[in-house]
Every structure is written in structure tokens, then in C-alpha cells.
Chain A
Amino acid sequence: MCVAPVLAGCEGALSSLDPAGPAAQSIAGVWWVMMAGSLVILALMMGLILFPFWKRHQPREVPETLWLWGGGLGFPLVVLAALLAWGLPSGQSMLAGRETPVYTVEAEAYQWGWNFRYPGEDGVTPEVLHIPAGEPVDVAITSLDVIHAFWVPRLAGKVDAIPGTTNTLRILAPEPGIYEGMCAEFCGLEHATMRFRVVAHASDEYESALDAALAGQEQP
């Protein structure tokens, strides 16, 4: 997915530029488009700014229609309208809770760790969230003390874990595997090491894997 050879190292266990889930993929895609567009705009603007310093430049008339109506108003409005027209519906499509209810797990943050709960199951799996691969999962996120944030960069954007409130994030891991996550909101002394991981299991193995995890028998 990474385009530039100079930045060959876009892969990483926590890299949003090495996306796995559909939300992360869509966002990484728009990032590369926006980056390319920004470089073009930057080059254009710097060209315009530096051009008058060129020896052969002659002072010229500057019609207001072109520079202020066109450059100042028209140009940014068109670009921004296009970006919004893509961004707002796309953001809406990533939200949880829109269509038929999906499998919902609970994430509970505290200083400094995570507990995950599952529907119809007693017990928790600390620091590891088990989900079935290939299907959307809603994570209902809250906190016991201060504000934290749930972020698995390769799957989706982040959502804050706020005490007294529950926020829901939809994630989807297309393939079985391990996806690293972290607390993304500053939460005190051990914020830097408040990590967790999402383990996605093939759907036919999920039940048994979850039972084993709840029973304290961590699988590799």
C-alpha cells in the first residue's frame, strides 16, 4: 500500500498506513490522495510566491477577479467542497449502530489497562480482545476512572473511553491474526505502556478460542 520507495517502512504493527480493516483502508487511501494534492498545492503556491523575485519579473496589473475571487474564494471552496462531499458520507458509513445489530463486545479502560467482556459470558479477558474475523464487531467502550482512548490503527480510527459514558466503535478484521492496539488519550503515568491487542479468529474457531481465553488459557 505504501507508495514511495523512500518510505518503504510504512508497515508496522501500529501503523495506520499499513491498514487491514476496511475503515483503516479507506482512511489510508484518502491520506495518500490528500498528501499528493497538498504537495501539488504547496508547489503551486510557492511557485507563485517566489516568481516575483525572479530577475525577469516585471510589476504587473493584478485583476481582483482573478486573484481574490478566483484564487482566494473560488479555488479553496471547490477543493474543500470535494473533500467534504467525500469525507462526510464516508465517515458516516464507518459508524457503528446503523444497520442490523452486530456482535458487540465491551471494552473497559482503567489506569492502566483494559478489560474486555463478551455477550453471554462471565469473566473478562484482560489486555486482549478476541473477535471473530471477517465480520463487523461493535466495541462498546467506557472507562472506570479518567479518559482513555481505544485505538487499533490497522483496523479503524480511535474512540475515547469516557467515564460515565459508553461510546461504540465498529471494527472489522478481514483475516485472522493479531492487531496491536493502545490507549491514545493521555491518562497519567503509565499512558505510554497502556497497550492491548485484538486477536481475530476464524469464525469456526472463535467460540473455542474465546472459551479458552476466558478460562485463562491464552492461546498463541
Chain B
Amino acid sequence: MSGALRKVRGPDLIWLIAGFSVWGAGFSVLYGLHAVGCRAGWEEAGIAGLSANRIMLLAVYLGHGVLGAALWFPLNRIAGRWEGASADTVRRVAVIVTLAAVISTLWTGAPVLFLEACV
């Protein structure tokens, strides 16, 4: 990793909650848009056997999964530079939490893959 080593600072702690913030955003958007989509009749319109509603839900689901996974790159770059008393443990917690958040995003949204949308 390039860049000078430095101590963990207060703002770095954002990495302890970044992953699950993506999970929270994905969860809220999925829940909210699903309610709107079913009410607005997006289930009836669609292409290639997929309703517009389903395409939207899949996009939100996969989009947040990819976004969560993409956090790995900045996390890896920034956390690689940490040194000092807190560095190892904070890095470890950040990695576990971010991984857990990606699993959670994929897990809680998974029903869009196989359940009917609006019953």
C-alpha cells in the first residue's frame, strides 16, 4: 500500500459503520420502493417476462450489494496505512463488519429473487 503510515483518527471510525449504512440504505429503499411500486401498478408493465417493478427491485438489491462490496477498495487502501495502538483491531473490526454488511445486504434482499412481488 502506498502512502505514509499514520494513526487511526476519529473520522476513520466511519469505516465501522459504512458497510451497514449501505445495508440500511438498501433495506429502506427496497422496502419503500416496493410499497410504491405495487401501489402505482408497476407490476403490470414490463419487458422480457420481468415486470418493471421486479426490474427496479432487482436493480436496488444488486446495486446495494455491489456498492457494499465496492467499499472494500477504499477500505483496503485507507486501513492499510493505519499504525499505532488502535490500528490492528480497528482494521480487523472494519473488515469483519464490512463483510458482514455485504452478506446482510444480499441476505435480507434475497426474497426479491424468488417471491411474488405484490401479493
The answer to whether any beta carbons of A and B sit under 8 Å apart in the complex is: yes
**A interface vs B, CB < 8 Å?**
88-89, 92, 95, 97-98
Inter-subunit contact A88/B119 (CB<8 Å)? no
Give Cα distance in the complex from A92 to B115, angstroms.
8
Q: List 11 A-B contacts (CB under 8 A).
A: A88-B111, A88-B114, A88-B115, A89-B114, A89-B115, A92-B115, A92-B116, A92-B119, A97-B119, A98-B116, A98-B119
A-side contacts of B116, CB under 8 Å:
92, 98
Q: Count of chain B residues with Cβ under 8 Å from any Cβ of A?
A: 5
Give Cα distance in the complex from A98 to B115, angstroms.
12
Shortest Cβ gap from B94 to chain A (Å): 16
B-side contacts of A95, CB under 8 Å:
119
Chain B 89-119 interface mask (CB, 8 Å, partner A; 1/0): 0000000000000000000000100111001
A-side contacts of B115, CB under 8 Å:
88-89, 92
A-side contacts of B111, CB under 8 Å:
88
Give Cα distance in the complex from A88 to B115, angstroms.
8
Give Cα distance in the complex from A97 to B111, angstroms.
20
Give Cα distance in the complex from A95 to B114, angstroms.
16
B-side contacts of A97, CB under 8 Å:
119
Top 3 A-B pairs ranked by shortest CB distance? A95-B119, A98-B119, A92-B115
Give Cα distance in the complex from A95 to B115, angstroms.
12
A-side contacts of B114, CB under 8 Å:
88-89
Give Cα distance in the complex from A170 to B111, angstroms.
22
* Most B CB within 10 A of own CB, among A92, A97, A98: A92
Closest to B111 in A: A88
B-side contacts of A92, CB under 8 Å:
115-116, 119
B-side contacts of A89, CB under 8 Å:
114-115
Give Cα distance in the complex from A92 to B116, angstroms.
8
Closest to A98 in B: B119
Give Cα distance in the complex from A149 to B73, angstroms.
50
A-side contacts of B119, CB under 8 Å:
92, 95, 97-98
9 additional A-B pairs beyond A88-B111, A89-B114, A92-B119, beta carbons within 8 Å, are A88-B114, A88-B115, A89-B115, A92-B115, A92-B116, A95-B119, A97-B119, A98-B116, A98-B119
